[in-house]
């Protein structure tokens, strides 16, 4: 039986249909459900094996990118999201979804009780160049702890489209803990495969350690700024007419779907 994937749709979300197509190609039974429908029936989430918080500009990015959606996740749906995450089910937040996961405290990965009355240990803030970035990037799967990036042998080529993708941590969450717990899931790299080294535009936003995505310590929750759902067909690669056909994001989704099918 195909695992059921819920794509959360808030006011201002977009690329949700792209994620549905990516997950369908990966073998899931994927459906988009508006946030307001979950408000009416909170138990609906428990019927799914995989959760996606897609990109876009939820609630018009009022108070900051992903902030109001983060408040929904951390307050109104706190119990349901916590049960989903702590049960080991796969969760992925892309772009605005990543921002919401970080600003709600779900990432870097504190437990529900630890998140309460505590300042965030990480954030996604304004791009270092001070403007919106829309370009194609290369990202390398790093974490072997993350169920999403484990054993991905090929780098991913896909677009970014964000104004607040600069991942930073504070002194309450030292970067050494990311390394120790294998939480750096994806990093920006050059065409030859070497690290971006913070250089713009290889690293499009100035994120520390060239971080493009992180996972929680358990490895089932992934957040990333790039959009792998927008490179699932060879012809979406802007250089496909020059023979460049690799780097699809499909395998990342296949990892999540395969894991969800076992739950």
Please tell me which residue in 133, 158, 215, 229 is annotated as part of the active site: 229
Catalytic residue flag (residue 131)? no
CA distance linking residue 96 with residue 138, whole number of Å: 19
Catalytic residue flag (residue 95)? yes
pLDDT at 117 exceeding the cut of 70? no
Over the stretch 212-244, which tens digit does the pLDDT of each residue have? 999 999 999 999 999 999 999 999 999 999 988
Task: Answer whether the bond into residue 108 is a cis peptide, omega within 30°.
Answer: yes
Could you tell me the pTM of the whole model? 0.96
Over the stretch 27-50, which tens digit does the pLDDT of each residue have? 999 999 999 999 999 899 999 999
| CATH number for the domain running over 4-261 | 3.40.50.880
Catalytic residue flag (residue 215)? no
Longest dimension (CA), the chain: 53
Closest CA to 72 of 108, 33, 100: 100
The pLDDT score that the predictor gives to residue 142 is: 97
Please tell me which residue in 158, 227, 231, 254 is annotated as part of the active site: 227
Please tell me which residue in 95, 164, 231, 254 is annotated as part of the active site: 95
């Amino acid at each position: 039986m195909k695992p059921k994937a819920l794509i959360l749709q808030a006011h201002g979300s977009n690329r949700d249909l792209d994620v549905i197509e990516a997950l369908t190609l990966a073998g899931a039974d994927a459906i988009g459900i508006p946030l307001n429908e979950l408000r009416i029936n909170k138990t609906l989430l428990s019927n799914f094996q995989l959760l996606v918080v897609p990109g876009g500009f939820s609630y018009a990015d009022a108070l900051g990118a992903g902030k109001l959606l983060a408040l929904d996740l951390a307050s109104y749906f706190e119990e349901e999201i916590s049960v989903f995450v702590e049960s080991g089910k796969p969760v992925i937040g892309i772009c605005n979804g990543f921002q919401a996961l970080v600003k709600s405290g779900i990432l870097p990965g504190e437990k529900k009780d630890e998140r309460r009355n505590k300042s965030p240990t990480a954030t996604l803030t304004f791009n270092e160049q001070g403007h919106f970035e829309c370009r194609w990037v290369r990202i390398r799967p790093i974490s072997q702890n993350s169920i999403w990036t484990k054993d991905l042998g090929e780098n991913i080529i896909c677009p970014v489209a964000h104004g607040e993708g600069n991942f930073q941590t504070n002194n309450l969450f030292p970067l050494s803990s990311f390394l120790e717990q294998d939480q750096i899931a994806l990093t920006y790299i050059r065409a030859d495969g070497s690290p971006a080294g913070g250089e713009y535009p290889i690293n499009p936003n100035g994120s520390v350690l060239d971080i493009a995505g992180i996972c929680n310590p358990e490895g089932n929750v992934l957040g990333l700024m790039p959009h792998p759902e927008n490179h699932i067909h060879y012809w979406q690669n802007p250089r496909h007419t020059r023979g460049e056909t690799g780097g699809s994001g499909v395998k990342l989704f296949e990892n999540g779907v395969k894991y969800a099918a076992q739950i």
